[in-house]
Structure 1
Amino acid sequence: MSDHFFDDTFEAFLFDMDGTILNSIAAAERVWGAWFRKIGLDPEVYLPTIHGRKVSETIASLSLSHIDPEAEASAITKAEIAEVEGVVPIPGASLFLNSLPPHKWAVVTSAPLALARTRLEAAGLPTPAILVTAEDVQKGKPAPDCFNLAAERLAVNPVRCLAFEDAEAGIAAAVSAGCTVMVVTETRKHGFDGSHNQIANYQHVRPEILRGGLGLTRI
């Protein structure tokens, strides 16, 4: 027996990357943990702040006068590109993404382009035709710019998009852009208590290709 998540259909699906279609937590926290220790900050306190935002904006938010956010972001990104052990797909994500028409979905990530491509490849996931990354927008999540740009590149209205997200900054960005949000909880330590629909992963959902667009069905 299957049932629909929504009565409405969508013109496109927009996916965050880390924590939403792939799990890179182990790799990211190894790199960031080493960086926090190097600058004298407790990783246990600050690691929760790294998810869902541009690297330079995360560093800038620490307000460390002796740190150049752009220079440090470049070094961290290089370290993350080299650290792919443990980068794996969210269960069911590969089949789900490969079931979608190429012109009907995009990845919208706070990661730089080189890191995004590296992690998608490491996780064995398809690279989308539309990939919006940190370099493409001046203001990262929670600003809506990245989702607006992805919708523009797909030639659709963001209000007619379903955005898959896991982090608070990304959820806020998608809502601000006018997207409907589906929260993916696979990597969330404390689940999700908000009002948005949610799935643990993609093992029990499938996309429906409809005349009016895309639907989402439980299986």
Structure 2
Amino acid sequence: MFAGRKFAAFLFDMDGTVLNSIASAERVWAAWARRQGLDVAAFLPTIHGVRAIETIAALALPGVDPAHEADVLLQAEAADVEGIVPIAGAVAFLAALPPERWAIVTSAPRELALLRMKAAGIPLPALLVAAEDVSRGKPAPDCFRLAAGKLGVDACDCLVFEDAPAGIAAAEAAGAAVMVISATHRHELQTPHAAIAGYEAIGISVDDSGWIAIEPVLAAA
């Protein structure tokens, strides 16, 4: 798993990657979908990893303003953080990283991202790139390129931690390496990238220049 390779920075998606907010998100989106007369079971798998405004716009519902509805959903999601928990090992793994060498890069609005990280006990990053920071959301690479630039590194020298196809595609388009987090996957995701269920089996080492390598954590005998 990336043996012998070092990275200038780590970029983490949020939902499904460092925390699990599926129960909360699906409660809110299911209620919204029912109000719109949508097939809830068919619709819910489409919401993950993509900005709300783009999810709604893609539906092309008559008389529906995507910006207004995205704001309505934001307020509903902000009021519902019950059951949001960290992905196994994420808190310790993030806390071990040099603060200037990692960022959260999420499709969630900043207000919601901060609430969810607080609810899950995720350490706040020095850099958070949220939905409103880019004009094109995932699968466009803009968010990862922006995060890398703000950290002063090249995206191609970063390792992106993702869980959703849209985010994986965005990382690939940015030229970054990808680690897939499968903790919240209900079905196996077909991917050529390295995948782990959580962070408990990996650690890091940092060289004198601040570059980071992934190292396996050996189980105690």
Shorter-chain TM band:
over 0.9
> Residue 156 of structure 1 aligns to a residue in which SS?
coil
1:106 maps to what in 2? 103
Q: Which residue of 2 aligns with 1:206?
A: 203
Task: Report the AA paired with residue 23 of structure 1.
Answer: N
Q: Match of 2:88?
A: 91
Q: What is the CA–CA distance in structure 2 between the aligned matches of 1:207 and 1:75, rounded to whole Å?
A: 40
Q: Which amino acid aligns with 2:22?
A: I
Looking at structure 1, the residues matched to 3 and 64 of structure 2 have their Cα atoms a distance apart, in angstroms, of: 47
- Give the corresponding residue for 1:183: 180
Equivalence for 2:165 = 168
Q: Structure 2: which amino acid aligns with 1:217?
A: E
Instruction: Select which of 138, 141, 152 maps to 1:141.
Output: 138
8 Å CA contact retained: 1:5, 1:218: no
C-alpha deviations, 1:95-137, integer Å up to 9, x for none?
0000001000000000000000000000001110110000100
8 Å CA contact retained: 1:55, 1:73: yes
Q: What secondary structure, in the 3-state scheme, does the structure 2 residue paired with 1:217 have?
A: strand
C-alpha displacement of 1:24: 0.2
- In structure 2, stretches of 5+ residues that fail to align are none
Matched letter for residue 7 of structure 1:
G
Gaps of 5+ in 1: none
Cα separation, 1, equivalents of 2:4 and 2:188:
25
Deviations 1:7-60 (A, max 9, x none): 210000000000000000000000000000111112101000000000000000
Percent identical among aligned pairs is: 54
1:184/1:198 contact within 8 Å kept: yes
Q: 2:122 aligns to what SS in structure 1? A: coil
Compute the displacement of 1:194 (Å): 1.2
Number of residue-to-residue matches in the alignment: 216
**Residue in 2 that maps onto 1:10:** 7
The alpha-carbon deviation at position 208 of structure 1 amounts to: 1.5
Please report how far the alpha carbon of residue 5 of structure 1 lies from its aligned counterpart in structure 2 after TM superposition. Answer: 3.5
1 CA distance for matches of 2:45 and 2:98?
35
Corresponding residue of 1:124: 121
CA distance in 2: counterparts of 1:77 and 1:11, whole angstroms: 33
Report the secondary structure of 2:205's partner residue: strand
AA aligned to 2:122 is L
| TM-score, structure 2 as length reference | 0.96
What SS class does the counterpart of residue 215 from structure 1 fall into?
A: strand
Could you tell me which of 7, 16, 21 is aligned with 1:19? 16
Hey, what's the Cα distance between the residues in 2 that align with 1:59 and 1:142?
Answer: 15
Q: Quick one: distance in 2 between partners of 1:217 and 1:86?
A: 31
CA distance in 1, matches of 2:121, 2:77: 17
Q: Which of the residues 40, 45, 48 maps onto 1:43?
A: 40
- The 4+ residue runs of structure 1 with deviation greater than 6 A are none
Partners of 1:106 and 1:128 within 8 A in 2? yes
Q: Does the residue aligned with 2:103 lie in a helix, a strand or coil?
A: strand
Deviations 1:67-86 (A, max 9, x none): 11000000001000110001
